[in-house]
Every structure is written in C-alpha cells, then in structure tokens.
C-alpha cells in the first residue's frame, strides 16, 4: 500500500520542523519551546489543543466526520503517543541541524517521533476521513522523568478516555522502511539500587583497628550475580549491573564508608520482587558478617512494557498493509526501559518499532561513531516521517472502523 500522498507532499516541511527540534533539544520537563512548536502546528491545522498535562505535555484531539459524537464511531477514541524530550548528551555531529545547546541532544529520535505524529495529525485534521476521535499525545520526560506517569496523574485518560493507546519508537539496526512488533513483554523494568556500608576508618597498616567496608562491598557485588544464575529461572531474563562503587580517599587509609549503586532489570514484576528481596538479604547479612552497618535502598522507576496481544496483532496487520509482509518482523525484546509502560498499565495497547537503518542516511558532518540510540553520533532518519505518519493514519482509521 503506497504512502499517503498528502503526507509525502508535506515531507520537506516536516523534515525542516524535525531538524529545528533537533537543533533545539530540551531535557525532561523543560520542553517549553518544543511544546510551543507542537501546539502552534496543531492549532494552525485546526486541531483542538490541550496543554499542561505532565507539566509540558501537549494533547491534540481530532474528531472525525461524525464529530466524535454520533454515528458508528460514537464514543470511540484511540490514543497515539510520541515523546519529545532530549538527553543530557553532548552531540558530536557538526551538520547544520546539530544541537545548539551544549550538553543536550536528541540522541534517541524523539524529535522524529514528534514529526511522524505531527504528519499524521495534519492529514487527519485536513481530511477527517474517519469516525470517532484520535487523541495525539505529545509526551514530555520519557528519559528518566516518567512523563507518561505524570500525564496520567494529571488526568490524561479521564479527560480523553481512549479505548486503546499505541506508541512507536525508531530502532537503529532494523532496516529503514521496516517495522517490528511483539505481544507480551518488549521492554524491561528500570530500577536502581544504592547500598551504603559504614564501618570504622583506620590506618591501612593497622586494619585490625578498624572495620573495613571494602571487602563487604566486594563480596556483595559477586554475590548479587548468584541471584541471576541461581535464584531466577534460566528462561526468565534479568540483569543486575553494579555500575558505581565509591569509597576511599587515600591509599593508606581504610575508608569508613563504601557505596554501591547500579541498576536491575526484569520483564516481570514477580522476578523484580525476587531480585529486590534477595539483594536486600545478601546486603544485610553480608554486612552483618563483616561487622559493618548497611543501608539498602531499591527504587522502582519504570515497570516493564508489556504489549496487549490483541492490539499488537492489530498493529502488525496494519504494518503489513503499509509496508508489506517482508518488512514486518517480530521484535526482539530489549532490557532497556520505556515509560510508555505506565500507559499500557492503564489501557490496552502496544509499543511498536520502526526501523531507523544503520546510519547511512546521516548528512555530511555526522560523527564517526555508530548511529545507535543514546550515542553522540545519532541522527533520526527523515525518510521515516512519511512512512511513520502514513502508518499512524492507517492504524487510527482501521482501529476506529472496527465493528
């Protein structure tokens, strides 16, 4: 099925808009300019705009030919979500649309996600060729701020009671023009831990006069991996990564405090409960065995992203109609995390993947490194804008037209 002509016609303007957003990245809950750009575009196209959900979020409401109130589509409502925050990354690219804000970069393609959804919104608002209502959700603070959770807390689904919600992320390594989807868990939960061990400092030449927290910390780091290898079912993926150990100030001083920090990931809440409980036990009893005090903190950030089977299959069928069966793949789940998980806890839906290619699309002046997510050499593939926009339109129309 070909791309939608009107979206292809607007591709150059939408590419310019995407590159403008890329040049002006804003971090979580600081997306004031980005929100203004999005709201202004929607307003110019006659879309009903709502501001302020999740602090800087923008919602565009587009009613179909029935005004969303009468006819076969009465009360039927679908949500389409794009995130629009950037990352605290210094960009290595030097092309014309590279970041103008040092230390901030659209290194995950949220600028492109926004452009794809705007492409769909423009066409849907212009044609109104559907019955029911499309709710375009432009979400802030996906990168660590939990913007989806905050929009929900501000009444997103009370004010816009969609029956299903879909989100889509670009994915380097999957060919441009291809899609991927899978029912069930597709992204892991994101959690962090902090363990503070307090002993008694002493001269390093007289260790018997102190209580050294360092051996206790080393023992814990090793023991935590037995949770993955010995307590968890082998076919149930999980990750425990200690990423920071802070202790000591001098080579001849036994430190008083050692601090361990890191992340734990899993695809199920049950496995996460197991990880937290076992980590707490290991930390507490290991510290006691070494005679040092232990403070254990485990923070649950994002839950696992779990696609609903019916909605994932529905999206797959639309992908096939849009790009052909050879261009639709089963997504291999990632241990990365995504706060769209909060929306899927509230509503049926699915988190979808669109291929971003391998980086050959990048303009002259790109960095020498790979075009991977969260990398300073990354750039979104603008060829995806008409494809992603066409897919969003067809998904919304098909879902609203269901019997």
> Check: CATH 1.20.120.450 for 190-302?
no
What residues have CB less than 8 Å from 403, skipping those under 6 apart?
none
Report yes or no: 240 and 195 within 8 Å, Cβ to Cβ: no
Question: In the chain, which residues fall in CATH 3.30.70.360?
Answer: 190-302
The pLDDT of residue 71 is 47
Report yes or no: 387 and 374 within 8 Å, Cβ to Cβ: no
Q: Which two tokens stand for residue 296?
A: 């254990």
What is the pLDDT tens value at each position of the chain, 403 positions in all? 689 999 999 999 999 999 999 999 999 999 999 999 999 999 999 999 999 999 999 999 999 998 766 444 468 999 999 999 999 999 999 999 999 999 999 999 999 999 999 999 999 999 999 999 999 999 999 999 999 999 999 999 999 999 999 999 999 999 999 999 999 999 999 999 999 999 999 999 999 999 999 999 999 999 999 999 999 999 999 999 999 999 999 999 999 999 999 999 999 999 999 999 999 999 999 999 999 999 999 999 999 999 999 999 999 999 999 999 999 999 999 999 999 999 999 999 999 999 999 999 999 999 999 999 999 999 999 999 999 999 999 999 999 998 6
Superfamily of domain 5-187+304-400: Zn peptidases (3.40.630.10)
> Which of helix, strand or coil describes residue 232?
coil
Q: Which two tokens stand for residue 272?
A: 């996460």
Nearest CA to 384 out of 374, 375, 371 is that of 371
Neighbours of 96 (CB within 10 A): 10
Q: Which two tokens stand for residue 393?
A: 């339109």
Question: In the chain, which residues fall in CATH 3.40.630.10?
Answer: 5-187+304-400
How far apart, in Å, are the Cα atoms of 372 and each of 49, 235, 245, 357?
Answer: 33, 28, 28, 10
- Percentages (nearest 5) of helix, strand, coil residues in the chain: 35, 25, 35
Pairing of strands 48-53, 57-63: antiparallel
C-alpha–C-alpha distance, residues 326 and 309, integer Å: 21
How far apart, in Å, are the Cα atoms of 203 and each of 209, 213, 245, 268?
Answer: 8, 14, 21, 46
The torsion angle over the Cα atoms of residues 62, 63, 65 and 68, rounded to 10 degrees, is 160
pTM for this entry: 0.95
Residue with tokens 């004031």, as numbered in its chain: 32
């Amino acid at each position: 099925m070909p791309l939608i002509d009107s979206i292809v016609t607007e591709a150059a303007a939408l590419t310019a808009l995407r590159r403008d957003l890329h040049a002006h990245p804003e971090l979580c809950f600081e997306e004031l300019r980005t929100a203004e750009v999005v709201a202004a575009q929607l307003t110019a196209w006659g879309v009903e705009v709502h501001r302020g959900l999740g602090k800087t979020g923008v919602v565009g409401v587009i009613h179909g030919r029935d005004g969303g109130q009468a006819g076969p589509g009465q009360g039927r409502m679908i949500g389409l979500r794009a995130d629009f925050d950037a990352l605290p990354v210094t960009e290595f690219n030097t092309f014309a649309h590279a970041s103008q804000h040092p230390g901030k970069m659209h290194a995950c393609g949220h600028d492109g996600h926004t452009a794809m959804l705007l492409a769909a919104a423009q066409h849907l608002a212009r044609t109104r060729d559907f019955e029911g209502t499309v709710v375009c959700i432009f979400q802030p603070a996906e990168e660590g701020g939990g913007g989806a959770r905050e929009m929900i807390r501000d009444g997103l689904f009370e004010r816009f009671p969609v029956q299903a919600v879909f989100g889509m992320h670009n994915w380097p390594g999957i060919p441009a023009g291809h899609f991927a989807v899978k029912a069930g868990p597709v992204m892991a939960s994101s959690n962090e831990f902090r363990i503070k061990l307090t002993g008694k400092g002493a001269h390093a030449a007289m260790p018997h006069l102190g209580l050294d927290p360092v051996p206790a910390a080393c023992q814990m780091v090793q023991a935590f991996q037995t949770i993955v290898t010995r307590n968890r079912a082998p076919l149930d993926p999980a990750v425990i990564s200690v990423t920071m150990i802070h202790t000591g100030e001098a080579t001849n001083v036994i430190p008083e405090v050692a601090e361990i920090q890191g992340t734990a990931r899993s695809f199920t809440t049950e496995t996460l409960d197991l990880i937290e409980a076992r980590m707490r036990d290991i930390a507490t009893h290991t510290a006691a065995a070494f005679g040092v005090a232990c403070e254990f903190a485990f923070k649950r950030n994002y839950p696992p992203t779990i696609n609903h089977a019916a909605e994932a299959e529905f999206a797959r069928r639309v992908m096939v109609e849009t790009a052909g069966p050879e261009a639709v793949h089963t997504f291999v789940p990632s241990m990365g995390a995504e706060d769209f998980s909060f929306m899927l806890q509230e509503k049926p839906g699915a988190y979808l993947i669109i291929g971003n290619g391998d980086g050959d699309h990048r303009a002259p002046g790109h960095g020498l490194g790979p075009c991977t997510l969260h990398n300073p050499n990354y750039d979104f593939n603008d060829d995806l804008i008409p494809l992603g926009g066409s897919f969003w339109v067809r998904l919304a129309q098909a879902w609203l037209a269901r019997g």
